[in-house]
Amino acid sequence: MTSLYLNNNSLTGTLPTEIGSLRSLTLLDLSENSLTGSLPTEIGSLQSLDYLDLRGNFLTGSLPTEIGSLHSLTYLFLNYNDLTGCLPTEIGSLHSLTYLYLLENSLTGSLPTEIGSLHSLTYLILDENSLTGSLPTEIGSLRSLAHLWLFSNSLTGSLPTEIGSLRNLVYLDLKRNSLTGSLPTEIGDLILANLKILDMRSNKFSGVFPESISNALQLINFDDPWYDASFCFSGNNFTANFSKDFGYCDY
């Protein structure tokens, strides 16, 4: 058996440890059930697994370090559970990973520097957890990244200038954290490249609003009905009470 689809049922109980015996499995979809308990360490034996979807359950506990053994994994969906603890450093071993969805759990701790090893990653979705600490400079190594969602956490510190290396970034959402310092001038380059959604609202940014960002925004015709973009900065402490938002920022 290579694929197991049991999504959208009424399954209860825990994942059996025997699931680790399905060595040929490439796809495991148990999403939208009522599964409880933690992920068994035996999940790390599924080394052919490409797609793992366990979103929308009631899973608890921390991610087992054995998840770093899933070297073929491309899609990892564990959102809408109640997972706790820190992201294991072993997650940096998932070099094929393209989609990492862990939103709406109860994850704590800081982002491991090893996350910078995920060079194939295009979606990093970690919003609505309890993550702390600052963004590691290694985030700038994720050159394939298109979506970075870290809103509604407890992140602190300043944004690393290395974020300016993410030239494929389309959507950057960091609202509702406690980020401080000045905005990196490199964000202006991202706007000139591909960035269409930028949300920095409700942080603690301060200092002079970067001229590079202002200049990039002046090149955009926000009256164009075909240009769907928003750049949101209100609720910070920029010099001269800068709080202007551009585009649609009412969400």
Whether the CB-CB separation of 135 and 158 falls below 8 Å is answered with: no
Locate 150 and state its tokens: 């870290």
Average pLDDT over residues 90-116: 97
Q: 150-200, pLDDT tens digit by residue?
A: 999 999 999 999 999 999 999 999 999 999 999 999 999 999 899 999 999
Whether the CB-CB separation of 48 and 70 falls below 8 Å is answered with: no
> Among all chains, which residue has been given the structure tokens 């010099």?
239
Host H or E run for residue 4 = strand 3-5
SS3 92: helix
What pLDDT does residue 242 have?
Answer: 56
What pLDDT does residue 129 have?
Answer: 98
Average pLDDT over residues 32-41: 98
Average pLDDT over residues 1-21: 95
Burial class (CB in 10 A: 0-12, 13-18, 19+), 152: buried
**End-to-end CA, the chain:** 44
Closest of 83, 49, 53, 84 to residue 68, by C-alpha: 49
The region of weakest confidence among 57-66, 127-136, 204-213, 234-243 is: 234-243
Q: Distances from the Cα of 229 to the Cαs of 53, 90, 191, 209, 245, in angstroms? A: 30, 36, 10, 20, 11
Determine the Cα–Cα distance for residues 4 and 148; give it in Å rounded to an integer.
Answer: 29
Whether the pLDDT of residue 56 is over 90: the answer is yes
What pLDDT does residue 240 have?
Answer: 62
Q: 207-229, pLDDT tens digit by residue?
A: 988 889 888 888 777 777 777 78
